Amino acid sequence: MSIRTILHYPDPRLRCVAAPIAQVDDAVRRLVDDMAETMYQAPGIGLAAIQVNEARRIIVIDISETRDQLQVFINPEIFYRAGEQEREEGCLSVPGVYGSVLRADRIRVRALNRDGQAFEIEAEGLLATCIQHEIDHLDGKVFVDYLSRLKQSRIRKKFEKQQRLAM
């Protein structure tokens, strides 16, 4: 396993639409394991493959306090949404920035697990938010997109400045 570099907003690679996984093979499992290690080390509660520059439909999530309840979703699809919740979100690709986003409160999701087996789960609250946030990444969206234009341009300027200083 290895820790991957996480792309930072406004990197245009975060705007790619990720491609579905045709077959869950050892290479996919290696990527899943790298993503999990990268997420735990960051530390974060969710990570999409696109954030480590792999435009493929994989997300990993662990919202447990004990950090030992890894959830892997390959080719995830939300097929039911209900209710609304507004929650403060952050993102490993936008470090230090938080903002409230309105999302469905309850969702049903189907996906493949790390063994390539199909499963369905119902999620609510924080887990539902996290899954929707990560699936957005697979479609080239970042939570910042839901914030006001003013806030978005402030965040963009801040990160562009940081990147210039880092070069």
Question: What does the binding site for Ni ion look like in residue numbers (CB under 5 A)?
Answer: 91
Q: Between 91 and 104, whose beta carbon lies closer to Ni ion?
A: 91
Q: Smallest distance, Å, CB 25 to Ni ion?
A: 26
Please, which residue, 28 or 101, has the CB nearer to Ni ion? 101
Which of 84, 120, 134, 160 is flagged as catalytic? 134
Name beta bridge partners: 106: 82, 124
The amino acid sitting at 146 is Y
Rounded Cα gap, residues 134 and 76, in angstroms: 10
65 as an active site residue: the answer is: no
In the complex, minimum distance from the CB of residue 83 to Ni ion, in angstroms, rounded to a whole number:
22
Report residue 104: phi and psi, to 5°.
Answer: -65, 145
Residue, CB closest to Ni ion? 91
Q: Are 39 and 92 in contact (CB under 8 A)?
A: yes
Q: Which residue number, 8 or 110, has a Cβ lying nearer to Ni ion?
A: 8
Q: What does the longest C-alpha to C-alpha distance in the chain come to?
A: 45
- Looking at the annotation, which residues are catalytic? 134
